[in-house]
Amino acid sequence: MCGILAVLGCSDDCQAKRVRVLELSRRLKHRGPDWSGLYQYGDCYLAHQRLAIIDPASGDQPLFNEDEKIVVTVNGEIYNHEKIRSTLPNHIFRTGSDCEVIAHLYEEHGENFVDMLDGMFSFVLLDTRDNSFIAARDAIGITSLYIGWALDGSVWVSSELKGLNDECEHFEAFPPGHLYSSKTGSLIRWYNPPWFSEAIPSTPYDPLVLRHAFENAVIKRLMTDVPFGVLLSGGLDSSLVASITARHLAGTKAAKQWGAQLHSFCVGLEGSPDLIAAKEVADYLGTLHHEFHFTVQDGIDAIEDVIYHIETYDVTTIRASTPMFLMSRKIKSLGVKMVISGEGSDEIFGGYLYFHKAPNKEEFHRETCRKIKALHQYDCLRANKSTSAWGLEARVPFLDKEFVNVAMSIDPEWKMIKPEQGRMEKWILRRAFDDEERPYLPKHILYRQKEQFSDGVGYSWIDGLKAHAEKHVTDKMMLHAGHIYTHNTPRTKEAYYYRMIFDRFFPQNSATLTVPGGASIACSTATAVEWDESWSKNLDPSGRAAIGVHNSAYEKHLTPSVASGDLTSKIMDSSPPLVMGVNAPPGLIIRG
């Protein structure tokens, strides 16, 4: 990931302003430690902190079109840049950077080109011919971006809050899938897939279509000119990513440069569930596995740095970001600059434990839509900023634009969790990769039940955070919390503790408003309570609160001996032997 900062239409173009823009841009240097650039045209400044992944030698930014009338600063990766170049034969490209195509597409199509990009990106483009500009963010919000307005009428755009929060009268998160145009002074949604309206889709489930779409999503993310690896927790999502990557690495440009053996990385407390599961998957896939340990005290000591970099006070995000933050530093120390990760699957397929309570397919689908739309505020924010804090890039194939469209077009009846039919959470994803002849993963891993990331790194992690907060937040402080924090009032001492730290770094009201529901639980609160009233009593956002409810639902369909033993094997055994087909009923085995 790179860091971008743009100041557009400021009233002061003196040398002091340039110095100030450079100073603010340096706050983003952790995102791009490889090089920095600043372009000034009149009252507009485009700054860039580069993390060099593609074309490290000549891809420094800002980037230009042929006559340098169009200037662009970009954070992200454009996976279809070679295909786009082939459609622009009359354009001259100066670099091998994937991001250069943005300037030429604008030259060719004007503002109506963003949907042509396949990738994760945030960018600001300045057209010096009429002094207009546009800013845009990728479909789901994988890359972070903020927009602000200063008293002098200037517009500010930055990869992180810290680039603009001291200068803008008001600022907010730049919404995913949108474009801001100076010509209209407004945001326009450019990403409008059919699922976005939350209309209930009806496409039948075809396991091979789903499998191939995800394989393509992973393969295109092997585009790199630097060493890379995969994040591997041992859960379904990261294990599938690792399996597909390991299969397709041989013969790629990356393999020729860095070796055909895939590197995998995992973090956890000593003896944690994730470490054990990840080692098992790594051994099966034959990856060069790196296991990082941390202590509860290590994590607590890092909390302030985490909140500064992640720029949130959301409890679940901070809990999960801290181990990822610590792991990213270790990964970067090994010379790795890019990792592939498994975020997004639970939102697309209804993998969170409370989805077990969905009353019907309509409610199930609408909740997945709402979860995907909110990803930029939670898991995407965590993955992007935890890694970028150390100059590491995270790529997320589950949020590939084409794959999301395929997965969200499937009739949600197939996504429903039905234990009596042997269908657990994310069943359609598991079945799509259940290949008897050439297994992607062992059965017990493919059908392993979900573990919350912040739980999986070690159960004492969350308990340690609560105990630490208990020492720093008194009952009297909690009594008056509503008067101190009128927006997103902390409901627990842990939430209060994080909020105090956040406000120290980002005291502006605008910063507070960028965080949706600081005491949020692991699911959408209103929906969870609507589906199961018992959730209304839960103040803790850990997924542990739902596991008992979740398991008991399965146990109703199992014999006592199995209920206390291997749940996965029973689900597998209960699936009837059926033939493969587009409309095949539950229990099918896919051979591709």
CB-based contacts of 408, cutoff 8 Å, min separation 6:
193, 194, 195, 201, 348, 368, 369, 372
What residues contact 462, with CB distance under 8 A and at least 6 apart?
319, 454, 455, 542, 544
pLDDT for the residue numbered 562: 30
Beta bridge partner(s), residue 178: 189
In tens digits, the chain (592 residues) has pLDDT values of 799 999 999 987 788 899 999 999 999 999 999 999 999 999 999 999 999 998 888 878 999 999 999 999 999 999 999 999 999 999 999 898 999 999 999 999 999 999 999 999 999 999 999 999 999 999 999 999 999 999 999 999 999 999 999 999 999 999 999 999 999 999 999 999 999 999 999 999 999 999 999 999 999 999 999 999 999 999 999 999 999 999 998 777 777 777 778 999 999 999 998 999 999 999 999 999 999 999 999 999 999 999 999 999 999 999 999 999 999 999 999 999 999 999 999 999 999 989 999 999 999 999 999 999 999 999 999 999 999 999 999 999 999 999 999 999 999 999 999 999 989 999 999 999 999 999 999 999 999 887 655 566 877 999 999 999 999 999 999 999 999 999 999 999 999 999 999 999 999 999 999 999 744 444 456 677 788 777 666 666 555 555 554 455 444 443 333 333 333 333 333 332 222 333 333 333 343 4
The pair of three-digit structure tokens given for residue 344, joined into one six-digit string = 């997004």
Same domain, 159 and 182: yes
Residues 251 and 343 in one domain: yes
Looking at the structure, do residues 365 and 499 belong to the same domain, yes or no? yes
The residue behind tokens 């896939």 is 285
Tell me which of 148, 167, 192 is where a domain ends: 192
Residue 423 covered by a domain: yes
> How many residues does the structure list for the chain?
592
Whether residue 530 sits in one domain with residue 383: yes
Q: What gap in Å lies between CA 454 and CA 267, rounded to an integer?
A: 11
Looking at the structure, tell me whether residues 221 and 164 fall in a common domain: no
Annotated catalytic residue within 2, 44, 380, 523: 2
423 contacts: CB under 8 Å, gap ≥ 6: 416, 417, 586
Residue 585 lies in a domain: no
- The answer to whether 1 and 143 are in contact (CB under 8 A) is yes
CA max distance for the chain: 77
Instruction: Check the CA dihedral 82-83-88-89 and report its sign.
Output: positive
Q: What is the pLDDT, as a whole number, of residue 250?
A: 77
Structural domains in the chain (count): 2
Q: Which CATH number is 123's domain given? A: 3.60.20.10
Q: What is the C-alpha to C-alpha distance for residues 242 and 236, in angstroms, rounded to an integer?
A: 10
Other Cβ atoms less than 10 A from the Cβ of 42: the count is 11
Burial profile 460-482: b = 16 or more Cβ within 10 angstroms, e = fewer: ebbebbeebbeeebeeeebeebe
Q: What does the DSSP assignment read for 163-200?
A: GTTTT-SEEEEPPTTEEEETTTTEEEE----GGGGTPP
CB atoms within 10 A of CB 83: 12
pLDDT at 290: 97
Is 525 within the bounds of a domain?
yes
CB neighbour list of residue 32: distance below 8 Å, 6 or more residues apart: 1, 2, 3, 48, 49, 50, 51, 391
The enclosing domain of 221 has a CATH number of 3.40.50.620
Going by the annotation, the residues of the binding site are: 98, 231, 267, 341-342
- 253 and 386 inside one domain: yes
- CA 272: distance to chain centroid? 23
Do 180 and 221 share a domain, yes or no?
no
Q: Residue 304 has what DSSP assignment? A: H
Helices (H), 473-582: 475-479, 481-484, 493-505, 509-513, 525-531, 544-555, 560-563, 567-574
Is residue 150 in some structural domain? yes
Tokens of 156: 């500010």
CB-side neighbour CA atoms (13 Å) of 401: 22
How does 262-295 read in b/e, with b if 16+ C-beta sit within 10 Å? bbbbbbbbeebbbbebbbbbbebbebebbbbbbe
Any alpha helices (H) in 123-169, and if so which ranges? none
Question: Do 279 and 419 have their domain in common?
Answer: yes
Annotation marks residue 14 as catalytic = no
pLDDT at 524: 59
Of 163, 192, 221, the position where a domain reaches its end is 192
> Helix, strand, coil shares of the chain as percentages rounded to 5?
45, 15, 40
- β-strand partners of 418: 423
Are residues 138 and 182 located together in one domain of the fold? yes
Q: Name 450's Cβ contacts closer than 8 Å, sequence gap at least 6.
A: 235, 236, 346, 351, 352, 353, 425, 426, 543
Query: What local confidence, expressed as pLDDT, does residue 539 receive?
Result: 64
On whether both 503 and 393 belong to a single domain, the answer is yes
The token pair at 350 is 């209804």
Q: DSSP string of 324-384? A: HHHHHHHHHHTT--EEE--TTHHHHHT-SGGGGG--SHHHHHHHHHHHHHTGGGTHHHHHH
List, as residue ranges, the binding site for ATP. Answer: 231, 267, 341-342
Q: Is residue 580 part of a domain?
A: no
Q: What is the DSSP letter of 91?
A: P
Note the pLDDT of residue 542.
57
CA distance 345 to 239: 12
Measure the CA–CA gap between 75 and 157, rounded to whole angstroms: 12
Of 140, 160, 192, the residue at which a domain comes to its end is 192
Residue 587 confidence (pLDDT): 36
Decide if 586 is inside a domain: no
pLDDT at 254: 73
**Residue at 63 is within a domain:** yes
DSSP assignments along 457-483, one per residue: T-HHHHHHHHHHHHHHS-HHHHHTHHH
What pLDDT score was predicted for residue 351? 94
Whether 248 is in a domain gets the answer: yes
Q: In the prediction, which pLDDT does 522 show? A: 42
CA angle, 404 then 410 then 412, to 5°? 110
The Cα–Cα gap between 357 and 359 comes to: 6
Q: Nearest CA to 237 among 257, 218, 224?
A: 218
CA distance 293 to 316: 20
pLDDT score, position 564: 31
Q: Are residues 62 and 188 in the same domain?
A: yes
Cβ(171)–Cβ(161) below 8 Å: yes
Query: Residue 63 region, left (φ>0) first, then alpha (ψ -120 to 50), else beta?
Result: beta
If we measure between CA atoms, which residue out of 490, 451, 457 comes closest to residue 472? 490
Residues 440 and 542 in one domain: yes
Among candidate residues 417, 424, 416, 374, the one with its CA nearest the CA of residue 399: 374
Q: Which domain holds residue 73?
A: 3-192
